[in-house]
Structure 1
Amino acid sequence: MADLDRRTALAAGFAAMLGPSAACAAGARWEPRADIPWPVQEVYGTALGETVVIAGGMAPSQGAVNPQDRTGIYDPAADRWREGPRLPFPRHHPALAAAGGKVYAFGGFRETEAGSWVAIPDALRLDETWTPVAAMPRLQCETVALGLGERVHVVSGRAPKGAANAGWRDHGDIDLHQVFEPASGRWTTARPCPEARNSATGAVIDGRLYLAGGRRVGEGNSARLDRYDPRTDAWETLRPMPKGAGGLAGAAAGGKLYVFGGEGGPGMIPECWSYDPKTDEWTAEPAMRTPRHGLAGAAVGGRVYAIGGGVKESGGQVSAVNEALVLG
């Protein structure tokens, strides 16, 4: 722990030395793109070829912010959205990932007639409709799902601690690492991630999975960065983020990991950072134009997209904003 604390302090000091001029020198900038046709937060996204897919989440309706069943498909080249098939029922926090040319959605929460949110094990594949596939053997919500080769890795998150399954305090953080093989429909488990947490983000770079940030129930945000190598089924802990963030988003572009947004800073977290695996260093990138949490992140064509999200902590002000980080 002492070494980890020292590395956290070093990283924070490094970030403090990077002012706006350092970020501008790299030539990166955020640009507005076509808004989603509906506002949504607590939403995940994934790139599939040259498109981005989002599904579910929470949006204003009937005087409240409620789970959604809508799917959005974004074409960055045309800067245009279209609506895809509806989910079987509304849900928020379904984690999306692409593998083998298909998009999959895992878990999330449904709303009961009593108004409670219940974690679900559902797994779906996007075809002409959302088609059920083998459900997750264990509940895993507010998780990170990433396609790695022909498999999908579902890592970290939170799950019910006991029979209760209706609220944040009913749940505990988990280090669970489940792996789905679409070709066979089989689920297996891999080595757990080094720290249990939820609402993290991640990406795949050079065949290895990166898991960044997140938060712990009752303990606040994490700045951890961990890397998983499927060839050895082993994790290693890397230089932590300059600042802890939960409810953030991320994507990989140009061999680097980009993370942005989140909440609990206190308030919204506007910062964006990139991580270079070759140097184990973080670099400050331009701050977000519209700081958000519970947003989707994806990278297509050398640009990183920040999609939807809430502009206030928790719920209450949902956004349809879509912005792109144009890399220098």
Structure 2
Amino acid sequence: MTSIDRRSLLIAAGAVALSGPARAQGGWNTRAPLPWPVQEIYAAVWNGRIVTAGGLVGRPGGQPLHVEDRVGLYDPAADAWSEGPALPQRRHHPMMIGDDALGLFAVGGYGVSPAGEWTGMREVWRLDGETWVRAASLPEPQGEAVGLAHGGRLHLVGGRSPAGAANGGWTDQADVATHRVLDPSVGGWHEARPAPTARNSAAGAVLNGALWVAGGRTVRGGGTGQLDRYDPGEDRWDTLAPIPRSTAAGQQVGGGLAMLAVGGKLVAFGGEWFAPGGGGVFRETWIYDPATDAWTAGPDMKTPRHGLAAAAVRDTVYAIAGGAVVSGGQAVGTVEALRL
């Protein structure tokens, strides 16, 4: 993919089978929608509820992006949403990380400043009761990253950081392979082994004591299905079987997808691709078995989306909100669930 102006794309209204094992049984079912449409969000499971925060909605005609500070709380048992304490500032792409021992965190992302709507941010907030409080800030801004909790630590992998002194537009940022780790009991962030590839808008999950990062894209190379596994004990990355291409779209599943771990497997879905004059959104679901290092096709989402949040509660996967067309033309609040 050639270099793109992300802001222009965001305000433009956009209009598989595999050989091998059979597709997973069942399909996606519609659940109560998030009360407001939004995309470019992430989710965490915290105290039995799914939490998502911030995000954006593109506006036509060159108007400024609408950036959210609202926090949505979903109760899977009741299939109902409520609103939690708003973020201290509006953010899109804030990484949500939840851990029973550490707490609930909103990390980095982009804010709105006089410099622009894609100002990379360093702030990290932790929810304390009904109030978001400051935690250890990032050494530098980092957005469109993968955030995971494991072993009493937070990990932030890849994404985009300012390429120079400018920090306000999407083109001011550059893809990074940066891997930072925070032990809240000790203090600040420290550097771990960088990811094998600098890329943004990937997805991640924790499985079998390892961190897994899949998909994403680079500005010039487009989507990548690359799957990387990080061993925290050895500070080592290994690259495994990539997510397959979409035969329906003829494109590589990559940027803006979601992924999580359920039942000893990885489940990845959604994402978008860009092409001259447009692009599209993926509806495929892919299921990875670490025992065989192979992906198989699962049921397609009813509503293809990118920039969506994902969470798993017990044996059920949730796909939350996102953009129903490539770029920022149609944010939705749609929620679908897949039981595995």
Q: Are 1:118 and 2:105 an aligned pair?
A: no
Q: Is the 8 A contact 1:213 1:225 kept in 2?
A: yes
> Post-superposition shift, 1:116?
3.5
Q: Is the 8 A contact 1:44 1:94 kept in 2?
A: yes
Q: Are 1:159 and 2:172 an aligned pair?
A: no
The 1-side partners of 2:179 and 2:102 are apart by 22
The 2-side partners of 1:296 and 1:313 are apart by 16
Percent of pairs with identical residues = 51
How has the CA–CA distance of structure 1 residues 60 and 198 changed in structure 2, closer, same or farther, with 3 Å as cutoff? closer
Match for 1:194 among 189, 193, 196?
Answer: 196
Q: Are 1:106 and 2:107 an aligned pair?
A: yes
Partner of 1:298: 311
After TM superposition, list the pairs within 5 Å mapping 1:3-22 onto structure 2.
16-18=17-19, 22=22
Partner of 1:147: 149
Partner of 1:73: 73
Select between 163-172 and 60-69 the one with higher mean Cα deviation: 60-69
Q: Are 1:97 and 2:106 an aligned pair?
A: no
Q: Is the 8 A contact 1:95 1:108 kept in 2?
A: yes
The 2-side partners of 1:242 and 1:131 are apart by 41
The 2-side partners of 1:137 and 1:28 are apart by 45
Q: Is the 8 A contact 2:255 2:271 kept in 1?
A: yes
Q: Deviations over 1:273-311 (max 9, x none)?
A: 011111101010011100011100110021111001011
Q: Is the 8 A contact 2:158 2:198 kept in 1?
A: yes
The alignment partner of 2:332 has SS state of coil
After TM superposition, list the pairs within 5 Å mapping 1:56-71 onto structure 2.
56-59=54-57, 65-71=65-71
Q: Greater helix percent: which structure?
A: 1
Partner of 2:9: none
> Post-superposition shift, 1:245?
1.4
How has the CA–CA distance of structure 1 residues 44 and 283 changed in structure 2, closer, same or farther, with 3 Å as cutoff? same
Where structure 1 has 5 or more consecutive residues not aligned to the other structure, the ranges are: 1-14
The 2-side partners of 1:177 and 1:50 are apart by 28
TM-score normalised by the chain length of structure 2: 0.87
Q: Are 1:86 and 2:86 an aligned pair?
A: yes
Q: Which letter does structure 2 place at the counterpart of 1:85?
A: P
Q: Are 1:208 and 2:217 an aligned pair?
A: no
Where structure 2 has 5 or more consecutive residues not aligned to the other structure, the ranges are: 1-15, 246-252
Match for 2:239 among 231, 237, 240?
Answer: 237
The 1-side partners of 2:266 and 2:18 are apart by 20
The 2-side partners of 1:230 and 1:50 are apart by 26
Partner of 2:330: 317
The 2-side partners of 1:115 and 1:149 are apart by 37
Q: Greater strand percent: which structure?
A: 2
The alignment partner of 2:319 has SS state of strand
The 2-side partners of 1:288 and 1:161 are apart by 36
Kindly tell me the number of residue pairs found equivalent between the two proteins.
Answer: 310
Q: Deviations over 1:20-79 (max 9, x none)?
A: x932xx323100011011111011101124211101101378976411000011110111
> Post-superposition shift, 1:103?
1.0
The 2-side partners of 1:209 and 1:130 are apart by 27
> Post-superposition shift, 1:114?
5.9
Q: Is the 8 A contact 1:181 1:187 kept in 2?
A: yes
Q: Are 1:250 and 2:259 an aligned pair?
A: yes
The 2-side partners of 1:281 and 1:41 are apart by 30
> Post-superposition shift, 1:18?
4.3
TM-score normalised by the chain length of structure 1: 0.90
The alignment partner of 2:72 has SS state of strand
Partner of 1:5: none
Q: Is the 8 A contact 1:48 1:103 kept in 2?
A: yes
After TM superposition, list the pairs within 5 Å mapping 1:163-174 onto structure 2.
163-174=165-176
Partner of 2:249: none
The alignment partner of 2:28 has SS state of strand
> Post-superposition shift, 1:101?
4.8
Partner of 1:283: 296
How has the CA–CA distance of structure 1 residues 163 and 242 changed in structure 2, closer, same or farther, with 3 Å as cutoff? same
Q: Which letter does structure 1 place at the counterpart of 2:31?
A: R
How has the CA–CA distance of structure 1 residues 187 and 64 changed in structure 2, closer, same or farther, with 3 Å as cutoff? closer
Partner of 2:27: 29
How has the CA–CA distance of structure 1 residues 183 and 317 changed in structure 2, closer, same or farther, with 3 Å as cutoff? same
How has the CA–CA distance of structure 1 residues 224 and 321 changed in structure 2, closer, same or farther, with 3 Å as cutoff? same
The 2-side partners of 1:135 and 1:42 are apart by 21
The alignment partner of 1:29 has SS state of coil
How has the CA–CA distance of structure 1 residues 139 and 65 changed in structure 2, closer, same or farther, with 3 Å as cutoff? closer
Q: Is the 8 A contact 1:304 1:325 kept in 2?
A: yes
